[in-house]
Structure 1
């Protein structure tokens, strides 16, 4: 059997995706050398971004498998090294532009990422569960999705997503862990165990600003922010840092919950943001005998949708009503969102429908410069 060419080996390595940057290792300059000897033994030298790269074994395995599938390869030997400061700087400039430009990419003119701030009037309505499941449903459609767990005091997204890995830091740039195709960052990834975070307003604002400016998400189609309940510091910070973010309001059918949730929606009249819709959680429970029980009452989502539409002067739709199901709770406890772990369940199907409604909204081109000018 003839030996593979270097071009064939590089084509195989094009399929090896860095687990954090989500780009081919060949494109990221991580392939330092690849050679094959007369016996069909391939020696590959891969440059990691940092010495303690937590996914070094994954990269080694994926690269070995990709090269091992090339005709004529008998054995693959992978050597790992680390990028020099100059190589890391080049990588950062490749990812973020000249000089490794910092700032919040999602607030720059021309950015096409659709940002949704998921909020609620009170805690315990399932806001975080809705956030992670909508994100996972969109990622499963092949879209690029990220989550910022902005509920600094009550962070829960890492547990709901099954993330135990810490972010990787490349100098001042942070690479978020990826789970179920979604890039995630949370203050819970930087504290030990269940340590509480006792911060006041300015520190909360700075933490959110760092998540948005120092974490490399890449070019996203959708970014979800899981906000704390109510209309406090973080909600105000989001409106300042991401003025074009749209708001998704989560409530339960209970009238009292809808009353409180209305405040988290109408605060948009002060921040200038638009409310994209309402999601009603825990709407009903289908008993084994076929009886439908409205455990928390009924009509809260519809009432909230109507009130917000009247107050804001535009249609705020009720995007969906999620049934009360054990599968949703079990998925959250096990770190496997229900749309991934039990996609045929009624609650997963409704979440998929809501995600489809969000995906149907195209990334807007209004006001975007196309870099062309008419000829005279």
Structure 2
């Protein structure tokens, strides 16, 4: 296999990973659900409480099933009705039904019960616990810069706290440690002959949740500082219209900034520790509207992208043949106009991926001479016809 084919495969894999991670990765959600259950003492009150909370904390991301309809279809429905407040009671009821099924299966398997009497099966209480875990999912999704729309369909507006990166190693370490430490302590106690406490680790889980909220509060303060620093700068494009501060993982003092002026967008990085902003060399001009960009904006991709994007840049890149000379295309395909959709909030490198995460959240529409969209791409993945 040629080197270019290996490179294309690697780029496609990174695109899919970045698109998958555009939702808070499932580990953080499930760890939060488990910590909520343990911190609030749910296992003492209802059977299968922790299992219900873990499932409920990740269940809103079941919208990933839309990926079967293609990347643009998934992008259109991502963080849609499954992340809306009205649907959470229905999802909680589904979790309770799953627990009923699990209870029935355990009885059929005739599993030997432990010597300690388990708590009773309380479906109403389980439903309330599941609902709380699902609310934690919405809150976690709100804290990153991708956003969430909890009041859809009546209010389709996207809300984003822009506090933590989509994958935050600090939260993974804190929440994972809160669940791992009690297990380590129980092994140590068994070695020295101390009787194990059945529902241990409640206070450790509670401390982990407090640390998570404290991290959000500190990031909120740094976010506001970054916004203030960016607003005080002078820009060639004129006065400041809007500002967005987008977080980096781990380092809460560094923020990717997007500043809109009447004539262009200025990007850069703010260091809130030293109270300085380093601007990118060239601002991004607001591209002119062409017939091709108008056609692309009215496509499925264009409508979904412009509904979600906060700082969209829609650019007519010229013909596909000029923009993608490496692709094996038919002559008529090379003459299509390539319209690129980008959101400047995600135009920064993370973990030396060299823009691959940004590429995964960009879109392309190929427009023919009749101003019809022939092909649509999200990242390097083509939408099914």
Q: TM-score, normalised by structure 2?
A: 0.26
Structure with bigger strand share is 1
Structure with bigger helix share is 2
Q: TM-score, normalised by structure 1?
A: 0.27
